[in-house]
């Protein structure tokens, strides 16, 4: 079973992160069939990375800008039976690929996602509870802790059979990241679309397939968290046009209970306040997105 690993980046600023990511993939216990680095179609960016990445990494130029278009180009170019994705500012545990691929021995498994551990540049800020680690693109408290069937993986650590894309088509580019624009949810939409077409397709959360995700200082500011929460709500409004969001309803119930528990616990009131602000901001973003959708009709 051949595995292609796709990494994408849009900036020279992350070159150290990109090289670390590539090296972590090159030194897997289970070697990938190929590593693809997908770049935005900017000549200077392409020339820069061609000069610094190892020769066994295939540099591919995306057909457009944005994370979804980069991933789609990677899928189109990849030769593997399994296509794995890892963020450019993340790095994989040595057993990452091996633990992912093990799950595909079950022919009913069409996708596998793993655990994403945040690595804070200056340590975790006191105001950021683990329940909100989705803000920094990581596994968060409230997610399953054991291997289980899930709705969708998180994009920083996910994989799908090639056949999944043949069945469901590509990622939707209108809801993916574009530079610093924080719309998200393309992996959730893809996984739900796949399940809609093929209801028996399994998507597995495998917590032993671990990647570490760098969290820079710029992402642990309240202003970033609020912006990210707004766009999360906006993205979910787009998804809600076509799919029921049961997982989000369960998470909302979970986080409201967590807020109440923290309010009643000594020394956790700041976390409770931040969580309350984030929940309200997601709601505002969702309302904004819903109104925009209705106005377009």
Quote the pLDDT of residue 179.
60
Nearest to 221 by CA among 121, 154, 142, 289: 121
CATH number at residue 188: 3.90.550.10
Q: Is the pLDDT of residue 272 over 70?
A: yes
In order of 35, 111, 162, 175, 239, the CA distances from 80 in angstroms are: 10, 14, 7, 26, 29
How far is it, in rounded angstroms, from Cα 59 to Cα 50? Answer: 7
The total domain count for the chain is 2
Instruction: Give, as one character, the DSSP assignment of residue 134.
Output: G
Please tell me the pTM assigned to this model.
Answer: 0.94
> Residue 179: left if φ>0, alpha if ψ -120 to 50, beta else—which one?
left
- Beta strand pairing call for 90-92 and 57-61: unpaired
Quote the pLDDT of residue 175.
78
Q: How confident is the model at residue 173 (pLDDT cuts 50, 70, 90)?
A: confident
190 and 80 fall within a common domain = yes
End-of-domain residue from the set 220, 249, 280: 220
239 and 158 fall within a common domain = no
Q: What confidence tens digit (pLDDT) does each residue in 134-168 have?
A: 999 999 999 999 999 999 999 999 999 999 999 99
End-of-domain residue from the set 168, 187, 220: 220
> Residue 196: left if φ>0, alpha if ψ -120 to 50, beta else—which one?
alpha
139 and 247 fall within a common domain = no
* Mean pLDDT on 183-202: 95
Q: What confidence tens digit (pLDDT) does each residue in 26-75 have?
A: 999 999 999 999 999 999 999 999 999 999 999 999 999 999 999 999 99
246 and 148 fall within a common domain = no
Domain that holds residue 269: 221-297
* Mean pLDDT on 244-259: 94
216 and 226 fall within a common domain = no
């Amino acid at each position: 079973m051949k595995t292609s690993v796709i990494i994408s980046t849009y900036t020279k600023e992350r070159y150290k992160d990109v090289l670390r990511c590539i090296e972590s993939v090159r030194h897997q216990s289970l070697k990938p069939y190929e590593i693809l680095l997908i770049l935005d179609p900017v000549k200077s960016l392409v020339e820069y990375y061609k000069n610094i990445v190892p020769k066994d990494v295939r540099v591919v130029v995306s057909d457009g800008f944005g994370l979804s278009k980069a991933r789609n180009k990677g899928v189109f170019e990849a030769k593997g039976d399994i296509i794995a994705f890892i963020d450019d500012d993340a790095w994989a545990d040595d057993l990452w690929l091996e633990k992912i691929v093990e799950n595909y021995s079950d022919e009913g498994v069409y996708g596998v996602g793993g655990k994403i551990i945040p690595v804070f540049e200056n340590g975790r800020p006191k105001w950021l509870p683990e329940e909100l680690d989705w803000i920094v693109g990581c596994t968060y408290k409230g997610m399953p802790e054991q291997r289980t069937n899930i709705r969708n993986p998180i994009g920083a650590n996910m994989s799908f059979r090639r056949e999944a894309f043949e069945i469901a088509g590509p990622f939707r580019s209108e809801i993916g990241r574009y530079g610093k624009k924080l719309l998200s949810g393309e992996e959730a939409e893809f996984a739900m679309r796949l399940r809609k077409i093929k209801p028996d397709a399994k998507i597995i959360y495998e917590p032993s397939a671990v990647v570490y995700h760098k969290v820079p200082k710029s992402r642990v500011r309240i202003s970033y968290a609020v912006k990210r929460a707004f766009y999360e709500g906006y993205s979910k409004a787009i998804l809600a046009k076509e799919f029921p969001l049961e997982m989000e309803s369960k998470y909302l119930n979970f986080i409201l209970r967590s807020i109440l528990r923290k309010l009643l616990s000594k020394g956790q009131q700041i976390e409770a306040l931040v969580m309350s602000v984030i929940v309200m901001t997601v709601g505002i973003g969702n309302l904004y997105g819903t109104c925009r959708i209705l106005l377009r009709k």
